[in-house]
Amino acid sequence: MAKAQNSARYNIRVLDRAVSVLKTLSDGRPRTLTELSRELEINSSTTFRLLSSLRSHNLVQLVDATGQYRLGLACLELSRAYHIGDEIRQASLSEMEFLRDETRETVHLGVLDDMEIVYLEKLEGLHAIGLMSSRVGRRAPAHCTGLGKALLAYTPSGFIQENLAKLNLTKFTDTTITDERELIDHLKQVRARGYALDLGEHEYEVRCVAAPIFDQYGETIAAISVSGPRDRMDPVAQNIEMIQRTLLAANNISKNLGYQDER
């Protein structure tokens, strides 16, 4: 209880009120502005402003015919993202632990969001290492990370070209690919061999092997990677055992998610 009371000190009042609107509408019953205002004990002008902001993010919809408000499609998208992310994590955790124990290096699980990856899980390696910036929930650029390249390689070419057109391929190290044509060609190679390598392209001292994870429909929905410092991982491209272990883990996770390889 004390912890909850302490954290409440940092709450933002308008955000608390907006969350209250969403919680109230979460029972599935649409309400008018007046009904919401009365139920939440917030004056109508404030309630209207809250609803306007929530509508702008599609978290709330106004049913014009009745003048009632209900939850918007963005709530469904958030719910779907949560369930997908949790399902992938649950299906992956035992394989991630096995891969970490076998390689003794750090194992990541991530998904693609536009041209960034989002870390769903991270299991620290059994060696003492503190040089990686990755954290669960944190983002990283897709064009220069193993997870990102493993995922981009299996996306439609139109998606990559569309996003590259509005993205600056930031150079992080001397090995970062910053040319669009070179990146597209590189991703074709990644897809052909079934795994991606990060040769210090995002963080100079880090090396990585990553492989895609497929769902029951054969869609690429996540990727798994093994990462470590260059003095232990190099030459990573020749570390066949680690590459095969990463591929096996990705394949087992895919099977856990209902994927059937018909090749």
CB of 215 within 8 A of CB of 186? no
Output the CATH code of domain 78-256.
3.30.450.40
Could you tell me if 151 and 212 are in contact, meaning their C-beta atoms sit under 8 angstroms apart? yes
| Matching fold, domains 8-71 and 78-256 | no
Per-domain residue ranges of the chain: 8-71, 78-256
Q: Are 198 and 144 in contact (CB under 8 A)?
A: yes
Per-residue pLDDT reduced to its tens digit, 226-253: 999 998 998 999 999 999 999 999 999 9
Please tell me the pTM assigned to this model: 0.70
Alpha-carbon gap, residue 164 to 177, rounded angstroms: 12
Which of 75-79, 157-161, 177-181, 211-215 holds the top average pLDDT? 211-215
Supply the angle between the helices 73-103 and 240-256 in degrees, to the nearest 10. Answer: 140
Domain 8-71 sits in CATH at 1.10.10.10
Kindly write down the DSSP assignment for every residue of 167-188, as one continuous string: ------STT----HHHHHHHHH
Residue 204 CA from chain centroid, whole number? 23
| Helices first, then strands: H and E counts in the chain | 10, 9
Interval 208-221 mean pLDDT: 94
Angle between helices 180-193 and 157-165 (to 10 degrees): 150
pLDDT (tens digit per residue) in 49-69: 999 999 999 899 998 888 999
Give me the pLDDT at residue 5, please.
Answer: 45
> 208 with 225: CB under 8 angstroms?
yes
In angstroms, what CA-CA distances link 82 with 54, 79, 162?
20, 5, 26
